[in-house]
Chain A
Amino acid sequence: MSEKLVTNRRTALKLLGTGAAILTAPYIIRPRPAWADNGILNVTTYDKFLPQEFIDKFQKDTGIEVRVRLTDDQGKQYNLLTAEGANPSTDIVTVAGHRYSQFIDSKLLQPLDTGRISNWKNLNSAYQDAPWARINGNLWGLPILAGYEGLARNVDYVKDAPSWEIMFDEQYKGQTSYIVSDFMTITMQYLGHDGDFVTYTDKPEEAQKATNEARDFLIKHKDMVRKYYDAGSEVQQMFINEDIYLAHSWSGPAAKLIIDGHPIKLSVPKEGTFGFCYTLNVVNNAPNAENAYKLLDAILANPEVGAAMTRQSGYSSTINGVGDLLNERERLASTLPQEEVDRIIFFSSVNRDMKNEMIDRATAEVKAA
């Protein structure tokens, strides 16, 4: 019996080995990285941001082969580009607003030459030359989606939420959730400080004091929290499962729940909040920068792409003509009353180092408390 078994196992091993060798051979032998070829464009972006029909058409029109690498998280994308150093394997990355200046400071992006994008005029004029987008005198990316950090609530249990104060209301103990680092800045706003650190330039003591106050406040109210989350899909699932009734949430994930008909509302409380844009950026030393510009131009020429991005992410599009392609529900989900829109301040680009340093430190302290 044992002999039989041994033979079987050996045959299986042999088969496995041959199979693996045959399958791998072409990839190992291939002499040089394929992404350095001309006629290729490498894009790192989120799932379904670039509709397949659009890519097919773009490939046919230009003869450029588009390779898409899907990402799920800004941190991984940043770390990968950093680890790759001067030889990036991607031409275009999708950067979220809170990471914009970090990518630029780390010299991972190249300045955007809007002169090479003939359809630039199709971008909503508010985003064509926004103050937050211009850093060191340059624009660095094509804004594609706009969002904000909102207060999301389950309207079956929470009727009204005019102030961030409700996140600390004993009535909802153990039923709130937030991203610690983001909510720390909101808490600073709520306590009357400057959560974006713009006014703290060269005033580290004042900034530290304000940060510590917010940190201690969050630690004191730690029992309010069901979970500190990271990803949008987590907050969505917590709302659906009624694990939480209230959350600090980026507008996209909450809007997707609203589009899907869940009893969720999203608002900007009176203390205000922060806004940001997702941008498509050409990577520093991109091997195929020329092709990257062609893709950016094609995206602006085709509002269908903007609509796909909105449907997939829940954020509003920055591209003209997209609104006409959305259905009523999709439009409503990403629309706010004007007075609430006025409460949104876009993340600035000054004094980032101090902000990041202090917020990250305080975040670790809140989590460890």
Chain B
Amino acid sequence: MVSSNTTAQDRARSDASVPRYSTRIATVINSALYRHTLGAAVESRIGRVILLAGVPLIWLIMLHVGPIYQMLKISLLSHYPVQPGMESHFTLDNYAIFFRESLYFTPLIKSFIFATAATAVTLIVVYPVAYYVAKVVKPQGRSRALLLLLVPFWAGELIRTFSVIMLLANRGAVNVLLREVGLIDRPIPMLYTSFSLGFGLVYLICLYMLLPLYSAIEKIPSPLLDAAADLGAGPFTRFRRIILPLSRDGIVSGCCLVFLTCIGVFATPMLLGGPTTVLFPETISGFFHGASDKWPVGAAFALIMLVTALAAAAIFMRLVGGRKKRAI
């Protein structure tokens, strides 16, 4: 199914005299350049490891760790940026502030609760949609059904946030409609509450759940489901025994993306929150945004958030996702 058998049966090796690959790939594989570089490298285990791990590790260490390392350095300084005439020395105080005061602890807890709830809601809402597109819609209509779901995301985060405001405001569409119909005579304040923040957040990030789920459900073999149905398994049994376990990877990935994005999120979705929905990223941004800027404290807090969020995600993956490895 994946690649046609004739090509796979051909042996490339160094046997250049019999090039039997039917596609252009053969030209590449049989060229001297390939055979003496990549081709030679993959012959040995060491070569394969370098080929596989080299670029990713360099990238990860340079660009994922590098900037964070800058932040770590800053978070251990008493002052940054250092003004002429002032001295900055090593200190752990910026971290101590977090553990000393419940003031900063509460928003972090709130952030975790909020992100977990948002993840759960998104999963429950999006799963049936992903399943519908991946398995119920006929293959010809699938890309169109998917496209319809994608279109709204091209408007941009800020615009979509403002659209939600237009919908939920006191003079927004919902309230205007309810008033026209005569159901209410005073607008219901829906905006700037946990409800609007949740509504908006799910609205903004559901794609991060949808696509992983779709990609995982799509690969479940349909004949398997038909066979189960033939054997008398009802829809619920089929879901519990086949679909759910086989889409586990999608659930894990989707939840991870949504959870991590929710934890780190501030700015745009915060436009929808109210006075009681202050989350941790907003606290952090206060250190960078306030009039007395305190980069070291902000950096320390960001690192605390980073470590806890990643730890939570890793634990979740360990618990839910089985691990499977393949040979190099």
Residues of A near any B CB (own CB < 8 A): 2-3, 6, 75, 78-79, 82, 85, 98-99, 102, 105-107, 174, 181, 222, 225-228, 234, 237, 240-243, 352-353, 355-357, 359-360, 363-365, 367-368
- A78 pairs with B103, CB closer than 8 A: no
The smallest C-beta distance from A132 to any residue of chain B, in angstroms, reads: 15
Q: Is the CB of B84 within 8 A of A107?
A: yes
A241 lies within 8 A of B171 (CB):
yes
The answer to whether A360 and B286 have CB atoms under 8 Å apart is: yes
Give 10 pairs: A residue, B residue, CB < 8 Å, sorted on A.
A82-B81, A174-B189, A222-B276, A243-B189, A356-B290, A356-B291, A359-B291, A360-B291, A363-B290, A368-B278
A2 touches B1 (CB 8 A): yes
Q: Is B264 an interface residue (CB 8 A)?
A: no
Q: How far is the CA of A322 from the CA of B230 in the complex (A)?
A: 83
Whether B81 contacts A79 by the Cβ 8 Å rule is: no
Asked if A243 and B191 sit within 8 Å, CB to CB, the answer is yes
Pick the most buried of B192, B276, B288: most chain A CB atoms within 10 A of its CB.
Answer: B192
Which residue in A85, A106, A243 is a CB contact (below 8 Å) of B169? A243
A107 vs B86: C-alpha distance in the bound complex, in angstroms?
Answer: 13
Give me the 3 closest cross-chain CB pairs, A-B, nearest first.
Answer: A356-B292, A241-B169, A360-B290
By a CB distance below 8 angstroms, the chain A residues around B172 are: 241
Bound-complex Cα distance A364 to B297 (A) = 13
The listed residue (A85, A181, A243, A367) touching B291 by CB distance below 8 A is A181
Pair B293/A102 contact, Cβ less than 8 Å: yes
Please tell me if B17 contacts chain A, counting CB pairs below 8 Å: no
Closest chain-B Cβ to A198's Cβ sits at a distance in Å of: 16
Which one of A107, A225, A359 lies within 8 Å of B275 (CB-CB)?
A225
Residues of A within 8 Å of B14, CB to CB, are none
B194 in contact (CB, < 8 A): no
> What separation, in Å, do the CA atoms of A323 and B274 have in the docked complex?
39
Task: Give the distance in Å from the alpha carbon of A79 to the alpha carbon of B293 in the complex.
Answer: 9
Partner of A99, one of B81, B83, B107, B291: B291
Q: Does B215 contact A (CB under 8 A)?
A: no
Q: Are A181 and B290 in contact (CB under 8 A)?
A: yes
Q: How far is the CA of A75 from the CA of B294 in the complex (A)?
A: 12
Report yes or no: B1 in contact with A364, Cβ–Cβ below 8 A: no
Is B222 located at the chain interface by the 8 A CB criterion? Answer: no
Q: Could you tell me the distance between the alpha carbons of A226 and B273 in the complex, rounded to whole angstroms?
A: 10
Does B81 contact A106, Cβ atoms closer than 8 Å? Answer: yes
Secondary structure at the B interface, as helix, strand, loop or mixed, is loop
A237 to B167, CA, bound (A): 13
Which residues in A have their C-beta under 8 angstroms from that of B106? 368
Q: Let me know if B271 is at the binding interface, CB within 8 A.
A: yes
A107-B83, A243-B191, A364-B286 given; A353·B292 CB < 8 A: yes
Interface footprint category on B: 35 or more
Q: Are A368 and B107 in contact (CB under 8 A)?
A: yes
Given A107-B84, A242-B170, are A79 and B288 also a contact pair (CB < 8 Å)? Answer: yes
**How distant is B160 from chain A, measured CB to nearest CB, in Å?**
15
Contacts of B81 in A (CB 8 A): 82, 85, 106
Asked if B282 and A367 sit within 8 Å, CB to CB, the answer is yes
Instruction: Give the contacts of B194-253 with A (CB-CB under 8 A).
Output: none
A106–B86 Cα distance when bound, in Å, is 11
Q: Output the nearest chain A residue to B106 by Cβ-Cβ distance.
A: A368
Q: Does the CB pair B289–A243 fall under 8 Å?
A: no
Check if B9 is an interface residue, CB within 8 A of chain A.
no
Set of chain A residues within 8 Å of B2, measured between Cβ atoms: 2
Does B116 sit at the interface, judged by CB under 8 A?
no
Contact pick for A364, options B103, B273, B274, CB 8 Å:
B103
A184 to chain B, nearest CB (A): 11
A364 engages B283 (CB within 8 Å):
yes
Q: Are B4 and A3 in contact (CB under 8 A)?
A: yes
CB neighbors of A among B260-300 (8 A): 271, 273-276, 278, 282-283, 286, 288-293, 295
Q: Tell whether B47 is near chain A: CB-to-CB under 8 Å.
A: no
B271's nearest neighbour on chain A, judged by CB, is A234
Contact across chains for A363 and B171 when beta carbons are under 8 A apart: no
B3 within 8 A of A: yes
Report B-chain residues with C-beta under 8 Å of the C-beta of A99: 291
Establish whether residues A226 and B192, one from each chain, have CB atoms under 8 Å apart when the complex forms.
yes
Q: Which residues of A contact B84 (CB under 8 A)?
A: 107
Instruction: For the complex, give the distance between the alpha carbons of A174 and B191 in Å.
Output: 11
**Closest residue on chain A to residue B283 by CB atoms:** A364
- Chain B residues near A363 (CB, 8 Å)? 286, 290
Interface string of B286-316 (1 = CB under 8 A from A): 1011111101000000000000000000000
B278 A357 Cβ-Cβ under 8 A: no
CB-defined contacts of B83 to chain A, threshold 8 Å: 105-107
Contact between B293 and A226, CB atoms less than 8 A apart? no
Q: A226 contacts B4, CB within 8 Å?
A: no
A234 to chain B, nearest CB (A): 7
**CB proximity to A under 8 Å, residues B150-177:** 162, 165, 169-172
Report the minimal beta-carbon distance from A332 to chain B, rounded to whole angstroms.
Answer: 26
Q: Is the CB of A226 within 8 A of B290?
A: no
**A75 and B289 form a contact (CB under 8 A):** yes
Q: Which chain B residues border A75 with CB–CB below 8 Å?
A: 288-289
Q: Indicate whether B56 reaches chain A with its CB closer than 8 angstroms.
A: no
Tell me if B128 counts as interface (CB < 8 A to partner A).
Answer: no
Say yes or no for B187: interface residue by CB 8 A criterion.
Answer: yes
**Residues of chain A contacted by B275 (CB below 8 angstroms):** 222, 225-228, 367
Alpha-carbon distance between A360 and B1 when the two chains are bound, in angstroms: 62
Nearest CB of B to A201, in Å: 16
**A3/B3 in contact, CB under 8 A:** yes
Across-interface contacts of B191 in A (CB, < 8 A): 241, 243
